[in-house]
Amino acid sequence: MSDLTELTLAEARDAVAAKKISARELTEAFVKAVEEARPLNAFITETPDIALKMADESDKRIASGTARPLEGMPLGIKDLYCTKGTKTTAGSRILENYVPQYESTVSQNLWDNGAVMLGKLNLDEFAMGSSNETSAFGNCISPWRAEGSDAQLVPGGSSGGSSCAVSARLCLGATATDTGGSIRTPAAVTGTVGIKPTYGRCSRYGIVAFASSLDQAGPIAHTVRDAAILMKAMASVDPKDSTSVDVPVPDYEASLEGGVKGLRVGIPKEYRLEGTDPAITAIWDKGVEWLKAQGAEIVEVSLPHTKYALPTYYIIAPAEASSNLARYDGVRFGHRADAPKDLIDLYERSRAEGFGAEVRRRILIGTYVLSAGYYDAYYLRAQKIRSLIARDFTEAYKKCDVILTPATPAPAFGIGEKVADPVTMYLYDVFTVTVNLAGLPALVVPAGLSEKGLPLGLQLIGKAFDEATLFRAGRALEVAAEFNAKPAKWWRA
């Protein structure tokens, strides 16, 4: 094997298990790839010493016949997951030097399955963004470039470091989080696979909170099979998170090749939005044809409250963020302003110095909609509309098993192109936020390239806790799409 970083997670797992390569050889290849790719700014913290130590432990287990499912597999961890003894910044200056004394449940699940940590991945500050441009540690750059252009593109957000690292072959897979599309948007614009599972499928314990009723952990990976393998390892019920649900976690990989014959696929008529890139609409139509050709039944469904999803999301999410981020006051932990005049000055300057512009904007919006006199007019009304959006899906699933939609309204855009207009940036989440509001699972699969050679993704939305059907339908799309494009490794030049 000439370049071990070109393996998928499933291929690497099988090669290590068969002792064709060692976990240390595999990990050394990725450590080198991470060092060479620093121009992409995908990692905030690299942990090569930890990775090699974990790889050596994996080789000992393999030699003793006690290997675990992900033994020796090098992964990247979004820097929103607390990792014991390793800095966790949430992409913010206010947590610049924070070293957790405990491990998040999801990352602990991965280590218990034998995975290896390569480092902590870049993200939008506190996961607030769709382009990874709000990180206090500089924006992450997509490994993809449009044909004939050297312009830097966004890797999507907020899990931009995760999508970049997977797409650029800097790790076999990565953890991510999704509050309004932060797994699916980055996956769609970087030619990777991402799944946001059902709310409650993964524990949120140890993940820095943005909007607690919307946040959910999930993986970004090279293939549907890799995503299924990672999802199985990450999911669990957790007594430390009262919102995690005690339901069995299926062996998703085992049912991948079940096909879609007889599966009812819903096409929501409200998702044909004005302003959507024609290439996105064309790939959506092609996705319908692919599934129909494999025996799926295509039915039209209606999600009539979709048009209210974005304003609803941008009331609920900032409201919860303003509450969650109140803890960063310079007293308990995080950045502390120098020489404060009094307690109020300490609060004000610590927060003003520690938070970036987008986080401050959302705190202000959230505080406003929760304030006396406006709570009923904004927050309470948004919660009512959220119930209607969830009910739309319940009605739709009386006619279908999964729903097929675009993932983004356009391919990746240039760094700095939308940052001055937050409303335009928010519109990029138009196809993803409904899923978070309804608490449903959704999978994004790469389906083709734009005229300029940039990845386009399709989204499958499933019933609650039916990720297995999503993976099966996603695998059918993957086979039909035959997406094998990769970015040129220009950063090595």
Catalytic residue IDs: 78, 158, 182
In the chain, the largest separation of any two C-alpha atoms, in whole Å, equals 71
**Which residues is 461 bridged to in the sheet?**
403, 442
**3-state DSSP of 322-372:** HHHHHHCCCCCCCCCCCCCCCHHHHHHHHHHHHCCHHHHHHHHHHHHHCCC
> Shortest CA distance to 351 belongs to which of 329, 370, 372, 332?
329
Q: Are 436 and 185 within 8 A, CB to CB?
A: no
Map tokens 């299926």 to a residue. Answer: 250
- How far apart, in Å, are the Cα atoms of 267 and each of 284, 391, 453, 456, 473? 10, 17, 26, 18, 14
Amino acid, res. 143: P
Q: Please give the Cα distance from 46 to 346 (Å, whole number).
A: 32
Q: Are 401 and 265 within 8 A, CB to CB?
A: yes
Q: Please give the Cα distance from 198 to 207 (Å, whole number).
A: 16
The DSSP string of 211-280 is -TTT--EEEEESSHHHHHHHHHHH----TT-TTS-------GGGGGGG--TT-EEEEEGGG--TT--HHH
* Antiparallel, parallel or unpaired: β 402-406 and 455-461: antiparallel
Q: Please give the Cα distance from 57 to 52 (Å, whole number).
A: 9
Q: Please give the Cα distance from 301 to 383 (Å, whole number).
A: 23
Q: Are 48 and 31 within 8 A, CB to CB?
A: yes
Chain Cα centroid distance, residue 432: 12
- How far apart, in Å, are the Cα atoms of 86 and each of 99, 104, 220? 6, 12, 21
Q: In what order do the strands lie in the sheet with 116-121?
A: 43-46, 116-121, 74-78, 173-177, 217-221, 193-196, 442-449, 455-461, 402-406, 264-268, 297-301
Angle in degrees, CA 46, 47, 51, rounded to 5: 135
Q: Please give the Cα distance from 448 to 32 (Å, whole number).
A: 30
Stated length of the chain:
493
